[in-house]
């Protein structure tokens, strides 16, 4: 198949969507498929074009300049796809670029599918714009319901989106590179820089430092854990709008900044506990990476945690939104001798079942169904 993948975020940007797409593109190309990327020009240092890649103009997202929207590119896409017609267009983000891709593909009669990665209508409330939540949800529903199917990462997210009026939803989980994210990457020298000895527990957060990640609860969890285990060290990996204020307010936490590749894997493996308080995930790739790294994980019982964690066996969960239960579970991690080690070992075993190869094979089958259906329908004339 020739697949046109349209996205407003991709490497070298550091977020779950970009990293998911890099892994999926690698697997798809390994299976012999042609993947043509359509994306905004990356911000910062220039990077080489991938084969078949088309770059368009982009503008920073207001309030979060590390990410950007791609500007509409309908004329360029029509010219490209008329000359090099893809079998399917998959749109991974719903911004201006994505919408222009949707309109162009439909005009050319090319099957279109999509992914829903981010609850932007929920984000609107976190950024002081609750009045936007309804219009944003309506736009997302309009966008995705115009595609052949929309990928959702978990069954519970699928049920939620269906209740909100989204149609033709397909569940496709997430994978992890279990060779990269591995307990063997534990680095004593890195732990020393954090002020941690061989037996000092280290609690880790990985992700954007942004309002929607509920980071105040991470701080409160660290405080509660330190009441029982004063030597506990805390590390936050990532960057974002709240980075400067968090550094200033919490000098007792080590801020490692954004990390990628083997350095990121070493940060995971060198910790002991993964405390993830977010309530805004569609999946939460970082939770799976932490499990693959052998960490005892704590999260709210939804998205990736509901799919992957058997409470008390390969991690701990708290009811969604129950902060007191979350804090109670955090304290358990440092109170119960041996619990973290047992959870971490079982977490690694569970994560090993989530290979990207299997995930992409499922997606390949879904696209083949769409192509088979398209051959029985009359092609729309532009």
What are the residue ranges of helices labelled H in the chain? 16-30, 74-83, 96-107, 120-126, 133-144, 155-163, 188-193, 215-228, 243-249, 261-269, 285-292, 303-308, 323-335, 339-351, 356-375
Is residue 381, in this structure, part of any structural domain at all?
no
Is residue 382, in this structure, part of any structural domain at all?
no
Same domain for 223 and 345, yes or no, is yes
Position 134 scores a pLDDT of: 78
Same domain for 17 and 120, yes or no, is yes
Q: Which residues pair with 112 in a beta bridge?
A: 89
Same domain for 15 and 112, yes or no, is yes
Same domain for 51 and 193, yes or no, is no
SS3 331: helix
Is residue 380, in this structure, part of any structural domain at all?
no
Tokens of 194: 């954090």
Position 49 scores a pLDDT of: 87
Same domain for 155 and 230, yes or no, is no
Low-confidence ranges of the chain (pLDDT < 50): 120-128, 131, 381-382
What is the spatial distance between Cα 22 and Cα 10, in angstroms, rounded to a whole number? 7
At residue 375, φ and ψ (nearest 5 deg) are -70, -20
Position 155 scores a pLDDT of: 87
Q: What 8-state DSSP symbol labels residue 211?
A: G
Same domain for 161 and 187, yes or no, is no
Triad 52, 54, 60: Cα angle to 5°: 145
* Cβ pair 15, 208 in contact under 8 A: yes
CA dihedral (156, 159, 164, 169) positive or negative? positive
Position 124 scores a pLDDT of: 41
Is residue 73, in this structure, part of any structural domain at all?
yes
Same domain for 57 and 164, yes or no, is yes
| CATH number for 96 | 3.40.50.2000
Tokens of 31: 């299976």
What is the spatial distance between Cα 211 and Cα 333, in angstroms, rounded to a whole number? 25
Q: What 8-state DSSP symbol labels residue 41?
A: P
Interhelix angle 74-83/96-107, rounded to 10 degrees, is: 40
Same domain for 216 and 310, yes or no, is yes
Is residue 8, in this structure, part of any structural domain at all?
yes
Q: Is 101 exposed, middle or buried (0-12, 13-18, 19+ CB in 10 A)?
A: buried
Is residue 301, in this structure, part of any structural domain at all?
yes
What is the spatial distance between Cα 76 and Cα 72, in angstroms, rounded to a whole number? 9
What is the spatial distance between Cα 21 and Cα 38, in angstroms, rounded to a whole number? 12
Tokens of 269: 């493996």
What is the spatial distance between Cα 35 and Cα 65, in angstroms, rounded to a whole number? 28
Q: Is 260 exposed, middle or buried (0-12, 13-18, 19+ CB in 10 A)?
A: exposed
Same domain for 359 and 239, yes or no, is no
Is residue 338, in this structure, part of any structural domain at all?
yes
**What is the residue-averaged pLDDT of the chain?**
91
Is residue 143, in this structure, part of any structural domain at all?
yes
Range of the domain at 334: 183-351
What is the tally of structural domains in the chain? Answer: 2
Same domain for 195 and 286, yes or no, is yes
Same domain for 31 and 56, yes or no, is yes
Same domain for 154 and 252, yes or no, is no
| pLDDT digits 0-9 by tens, 277-286 | 999 887 889 9
């Amino acid at each position: 198949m020739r697949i046109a993948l349209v996205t407003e975020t991709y490497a070298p940007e550091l977020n779950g969507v970009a990293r998911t797409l890099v892994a999926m593109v690698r697997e798809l190309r390994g299976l012999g498929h042609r993947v043509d990327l359509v994306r905004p020009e990356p911000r910062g240092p220039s990077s080489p074009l991938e084969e078949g890649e088309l770059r368009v103009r982009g503008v920073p997202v207001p309030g979060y300049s590390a990410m950007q929207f791609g500007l509409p590119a309908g004329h360029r896409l029509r010219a490209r796809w008329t000359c090099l017609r893809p079998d399917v267009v998959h749109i991974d983000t719903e911004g201006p670029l994505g919408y222009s891709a949707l309109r162009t593909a439909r005009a050319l009669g090319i099957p279109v599918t999509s992914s829903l990665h981010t609850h932007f209508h929920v984000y609107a409330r976190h950024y002081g714009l609750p009045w936007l939540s309804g219009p944003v949800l309506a736009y997302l529903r309009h966008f995705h319901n115009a595609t052949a199917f929309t990928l959702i990462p978990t069954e519970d997210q699928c049920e939620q989106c269906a209740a909100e009026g989204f149609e033709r939803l397909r569940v496709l989980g997430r994978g992890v590179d279990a060779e990269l994210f591995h307990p063997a990457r534990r680095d004593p020298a890195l732990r020393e820089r954090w002020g941690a000895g061989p037996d000092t527990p280290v609690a880790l957060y990985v992700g954007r430092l942004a309002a929607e990640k509920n980071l105040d609860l991470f701080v409160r969890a660290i405080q509660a854990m330190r009441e029982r285990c004063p030597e506990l060290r805390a590390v936050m990996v990532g960057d974002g709008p709240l980075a400067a204020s968090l550094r200033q307010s919490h000098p007792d936490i080590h801020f490692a900044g954004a990390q990628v590749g083997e350095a990121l894997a070493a940060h995971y493996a060198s910790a002991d506990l993964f405390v993830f308080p977010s309530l805004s995930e569609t999946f939460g790739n970082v939770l799976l990476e932490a499990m693959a790294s052998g960490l005892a994980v704590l999260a709210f019982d939804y998205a990736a945690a509901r799919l992957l964690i058997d409470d008390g066996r390969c991690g701990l969960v708290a009811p969604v939104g129950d902060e007191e239960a979350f804090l109670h579970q955090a304290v358990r991690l440092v109170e119960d001798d041996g619990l973290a080690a047992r959870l971490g070992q079982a977490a690694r075993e569970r994560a090993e079942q989530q290979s990207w190869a299997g995930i992409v094979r499922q997606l390949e089958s879904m696209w083949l169904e769409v192509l088979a259906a398209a051959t029985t329908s009359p092609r729309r004339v532009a």
